């Protein structure tokens, strides 16, 4: 007989049981469900809604059930639909009819919202830790590459040289914002919905704040209808996770490009690459590729959740059971990616000479020639045109700017003097970007200093 079987005259069709059950995936919430129940039953006794002895029996029973589930010894069944009713059933099997008092003043609707929040709270803490570790790895690479110059690209065309440390710090900034977003969202997750009942509250003299305090929430979700019917905290998490994995995916793409023979800027450690079943020479950046690929499923979960929610009338609707798998999968996907990325970045070999050789064979110092002329009072637009001509000449002659003799420069502008060779050297070009946030070595050192002190504080 179902826990809710009273008003039914027939057993549920087996296909219905199978179709509506969530136990196959929501068993992930078991420990949170029991944690919530322990706080609820404590409150029921404190508020004299049930006798203290009954509460003690129920608590003992719940702890027993928790152990049994953790050990994989509990039988969780589709007939009992979801984790909430499975736990209640196991409890009643253990302690007898008194176990039936646990659900006093509570509904699965506020219970499931509670479990989701407890789960997400823990997950956010773990993800923030993992993101911080990745930031540390990137900063480690930045510190080791304060003299490594590579071409900076726009449109994937060589644009202006930058420090590899600067490039790494760009990602540190992105992941810092990801951490900020997750931490900010925590305060909206960290509210207790328990006590909302099915939708309208409850007739029992419960103490919602007591339960909230016991579970370390910052407070309660004020409105009972809102408490059971909204999942905006899940959407927000999925959006934050989407941004984080988007950043990881862009970094992945760069790692993939840089490890190609065409770039040959880095080599990922053997421990983080895989081979080919047919081509003996292959070493593939599979982890980076797979992270890039998995960003798709995380975005999918975000759109899926938004779509599930968009037409739902207040309050709880069964559609909302669809909130779980995407959230679980997103947490696991992001955790997995971050756990691999930190050591993969730390162990990556940076091929400084190849990066430098690439800078020597491009026109990424052309802006500096224009800026040089501007400093000699030529309007920028005219300087741009002159340098365009110089570059065209070089292309026709198969040369780069630094290959030109002073006389050749002078054919284009007699403002150009001997000091131009120093001005156009890659180190000078990089260090000339001496503005806040620029790629000059001292500015990058400053970025690293500021970012690491923020990381230490957090």
Q: Which residues here bind ligand ARG, judged by CB under 6 A?
A: 22, 26, 82, 108-109, 112, 316, 318, 320-321
Residues whose CB is less than 8 angstroms from the CB of residue 101 and which lie 6 or more positions away in sequence, other chains included = 44, 50, 54, 58
Nearest distance, CB of residue 46 and ligand ARG, angstroms: 26
Nearer to ligand ARG, 312 or 386 (CB): 312
CB 243, CB 178: distance < 8 Å: yes
Nearer to ligand ARG, 305 or 390 (CB): 305
276 is catalytic: yes
Nearer to ligand ARG, 4 or 380 (CB): 4
Nearest distance, CB of residue 245 and ligand ARG, angstroms: 25
Q: How far apart are CA 416 and CA 390, in angstroms?
A: 12
Given 276, 364, 384, 453, the catalytic residue: 276
Exposed, middle or buried, 210 (CB in 10 Å: 0-12/13-18/19+)?
Answer: middle
Nearest distance, CB of residue 118 and ligand ARG, angstroms: 14
Q: How many helices (H) and strands (E) does the chain have?
A: 19, 6
Nearer to ligand ARG, 23 or 338 (CB): 23
Beta bridge partners of 48: none
Given 37, 84, 103, 155, the catalytic residue: 155
Nearest distance, CB of residue 83 and ligand ARG, angstroms: 8
Of residues 320, 324, 316, 323, the one with CA closest to residue 107: 316
Nearest distance, CB of residue 21 and ligand ARG, angstroms: 8
Q: How far apart are CA 453 and CA 417, in angstroms?
A: 44
Asked whether the CA dihedral 66, 72, 77, 83 is positive or negative, the reply is positive
Q: How far apart are CA 42 and CA 26, in angstroms?
A: 24
Nearer to ligand ARG, 328 or 421 (CB): 328
Nearest distance, CB of residue 15 and ligand ARG, angstroms: 17
**CB-hemisphere CA count at 13 Å for 117?**
32
Residues whose CB is less than 8 angstroms from the CB of residue 343 and which lie 6 or more positions away in sequence, other chains included = 137, 272
Neighbours of 223 (CB within 10 A): 15
CB 328, CB 26: distance < 8 Å: no
Nearer to ligand ARG, 28 or 443 (CB): 28
Nearest distance, CB of residue 107 and ligand ARG, angstroms: 7
Q: How far apart are CA 245 and CA 362, in angstroms?
A: 33
301 is catalytic: no
CB 229, CB 314: distance < 8 Å: yes
Catalytic residues: 155, 276
């Amino acid at each position: 007989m179902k826990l809710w079987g009273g008003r039914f005259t027939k057993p549920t069709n087996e296909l219905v049981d199978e179709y509506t059950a969530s136990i196959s995936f929501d068993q992930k919430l078991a420990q949170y469900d029991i944690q919530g129940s322990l706080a609820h039953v404590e409150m029921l006794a404190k508020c004299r809604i049930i006798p203290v002895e009954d509460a003690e029996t129920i608590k003992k029973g719940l702890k027993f059930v928790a152990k049994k589930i953790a050990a994989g010894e509990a039988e969780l069944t589709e007939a009992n639909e979801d984790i909430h009713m499975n736990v209640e059933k196991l409890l009643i099997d253990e302690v007898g009819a008194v176990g039936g008092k646990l659900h006093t003043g509570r509904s699965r609707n506020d219970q499931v919202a509670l479990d989701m929040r407890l789960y997400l709270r823990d997950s956010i803490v773990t993800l923030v830790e993992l993101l911080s570790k990745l930031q540390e790895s990137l900063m480690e690479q930045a510190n080791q590459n304060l003299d490594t110059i590579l071409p900076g690209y726009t449109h994937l065309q060589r644009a202006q040289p930058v420090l590899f440390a600067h490039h790494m710090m760009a990602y540190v900034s992105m992941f810092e914002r990801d951490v900020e977003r997750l931490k900010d969202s925590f305060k909206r997750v960290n509210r207790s919905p328990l006590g909302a009942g099915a939708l309208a509250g409850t007739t029992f003299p419960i103490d919602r704040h007591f339960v909230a305090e016991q579970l370390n929430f910052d407070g309660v979700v004020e409105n009972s209808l809102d408490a059971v019917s909204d999942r905006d905290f899940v959407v927000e998490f999925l959006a934050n996770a989407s941004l984080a994995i988007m950043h990881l995916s862009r970094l992945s793409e760069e790692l993939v490009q840089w490890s190609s023979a065409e770039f040959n800027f880095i080599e990922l450690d053997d421990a983080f690459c895989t081979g080919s079943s047919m081509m003996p020479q292959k070493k593939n950046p599979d982890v980076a590729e797979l992270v890039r690929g998995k960003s798709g499923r995380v975005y999918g979960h975000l759109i899926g959740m938004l779509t599930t929610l968009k037409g739902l009338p207040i309050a709880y609707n069964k559609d909302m059971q669809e909130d779980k798998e995407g959230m679980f999968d997103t947490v696991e996907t992001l955790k997995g990616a971050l756990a691999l990325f930190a050591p993969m970045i730390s162990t990556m070999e940076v091929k400084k000479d190849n990066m430098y050789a690439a800078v020597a064979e491009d026109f990424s110092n052309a802006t500096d020639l224009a800026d040089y002329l501007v400093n000699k009072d030529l309007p920028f637009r005219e300087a741009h045109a002159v340098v365009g001509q110089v570059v065209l000449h070089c292309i026709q002659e198969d040369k780069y700017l630094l290959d030109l003799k002073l006389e050749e420069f002078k054919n284009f502008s007699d403002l150009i003097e001997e000091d131009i060779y120093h001005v156009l050297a890659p180190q000078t070009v990089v260090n000339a970007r001496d503005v806040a946030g620029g790629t000059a070595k001292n500015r990058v050192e400053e970025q690293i200093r500021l970012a690491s002190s923020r990381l230490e504080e957090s």
